[in-house]
């Protein structure tokens, strides 16, 4: 009996040692896999940094060549070609960032987006300086004749017997603004907003329709508004907005300090929200004449849409979705935007 007990004890110890050894091997394999994945991620991040910095350097050099040509060595046609090439390089760099967000950390995303924004601003400013374009007008709710308003000469202009105050909207050669409006339908369309920076500020109960290819779109302090846009070439920034519905297409979306907004989105990178809550997302579905052509001009791929891939900078948990945003229930989605387009 003692021998049998000793044998059983020996078998238990042996099995315990075998189990421990197996667990040790599995643990080593897990550590090896984690190390391999970390190494792979580090290599990817380093490749991204090197490639991004090199592409940015080439764009910076191209811009510097234009700045150094102030003595008139470049003709308008040459400048137009160069600015078009730079814009294409920026769009490609934007796509490179979008495609890389899957393995980039928040800091790296912020760094690259800020650098891209600076490039866009600098390019627009230089194009405005060296290759000025004609000013452009707008359409109001009453479909009056388009008019160019010079912000430097405040006055009342008479258009078809009705009066339009200068504060209604103003524009420079590279930007357009609607501010401090209530209960208006505001429209901008076509080539008039191509590569322009659009700013919407302090609007209440307004409908805004932008069908063209602006470079950027900034929205701040909008309340109970509906904003419909065609494709925006680079970024859309939204701040301090409440109870709004947005129909947006862009390369990047940044949403700050906003609440109770529905966003119908086409975006080629991961949308970012911060200090926001009660945000709902649905896929973009605005179609109008020249829509497909505008997407092509803006450099957006109709087949790439990450409308439901959202990064919340206030939510650090990786195993749970942020409670600050959700997908808009299909039964609550607007399916036909035609009444707004025709308003």
What does the pLDDT average to over 163-176? 42
pLDDT in tens, 214-272: 888 999 999 999 999 999 988 899 999 999 999 999 988 999 999 999 999 999 888 88
Question: 141: pLDDT confidence band, cut at 50, 70 and 90?
Answer: very low
> Among 94-108, 205-219, 305-319, where is mean pLDDT lowest?
94-108
What does the pLDDT average to over 141-147? 37
Per-residue pLDDT, 163: 27
- Is residue 263 within 8 A of residue 244, CB to CB? The reply is no
6-39 in b/e form (b: 16+ CB < 10 A) is: eeeeeeeeeeeeeeeeeeeeeeeeeeeeeeeeee
**221 token code pair:** 């302090």
What's the half-sphere exposure (Cβ side, CA atoms, 13 Å) at 177? 15
Does the structure show a pLDDT above 80 at 100?
Answer: no
Question: 75: pLDDT confidence band, cut at 50, 70 and 90?
Answer: confident
> Among 9-23, 41-55, 154-168, 251-265, where is mean pLDDT lowest?
154-168
All domains of the chain, ordered by start, with CATH? 2-130 (1.20.58.1250), 156-172+174-341 (2.160.20.70)
| CA 59 – CA 41 distance, rounded (Å) | 27
**Residue entry with tokens 């399916």:** 335
Per-residue pLDDT, 167: 32
Secondary structure string (H, E, C) spanning 2-32: HHHHHHHHHHHHHHHHHHHHHHHHHHHHHHH
Longest dimension (CA), the chain: 116
What does the pLDDT average to over 45-56? 86
pTM over 0.85, yes/no? no
């Amino acid at each position: 009996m003692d021998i049998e007990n000793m044998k059983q004890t020996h078998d238990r110890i042996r099995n315990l040692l075998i189990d421990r050894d197996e667990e040790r091997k599995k643990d080593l394999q897990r550590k090896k896999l984690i190390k391999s994945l970390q190494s792979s991620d580090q290599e990817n991040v380093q490749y991204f940094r090197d490639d991004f910095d090199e592409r940015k350097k080439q764009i910076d050099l191209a811009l510097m060549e234009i700045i150094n040509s102030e003595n008139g060595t470049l003709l308008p046609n040459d400048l137009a070609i160069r600015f078009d090439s730079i814009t294409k390089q920026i769009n490609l760099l934007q796509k490179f960032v979008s495609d890389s967000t899957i393995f980039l950390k928040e800091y790296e995303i912020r760094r690259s987006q800020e650098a891209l924004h600076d490039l866009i601003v600098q390019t627009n400013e230089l194009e405005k300086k060296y290759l000025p374009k004609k000013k452009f007008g707008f359409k109001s709710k009453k479909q009056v004749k388009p008019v160019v308003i010079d912000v430097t000469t405040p006055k009342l202009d008479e258009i078809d017997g009705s009066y339009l105050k200068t504060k209604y909207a103003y524009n420079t050669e590279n930007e357009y603004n609607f501010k401090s409006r209530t209960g208006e339908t505001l429209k901008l369309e076509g080539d008039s907003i191509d590569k322009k920076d659009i700013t919407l500020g302090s609007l209440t109960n307004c409908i805004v329709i932008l069908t063209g290819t602006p470079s950027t779109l900034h929205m701040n302090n909008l309340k109970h508004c509906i904003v419909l846009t065609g494709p925006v070439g680079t970024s859309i920034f939204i701040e301090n907005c409440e109870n709004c519905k947005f129909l947006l297409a862009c390369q990047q979306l940044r949403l700050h300090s906003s609440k109770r907004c529905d966003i119908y989105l086409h975006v080629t990178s991961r949308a970012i929200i911060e200090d926001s809550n009660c945000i709902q997302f649905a896929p973009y579905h605005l179609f109008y004449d020249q829509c497909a052509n505008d997407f092509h001009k803006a450099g957006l791929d109709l087949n790439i849409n990450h409308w439901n891939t959202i990064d919340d900078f206030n939510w650090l948990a990786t195993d749970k979705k942020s409670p600050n945003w959700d997908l808009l229930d299909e039964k609550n989605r607007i399916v036909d935007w035609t009444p707004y387009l025709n308003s």
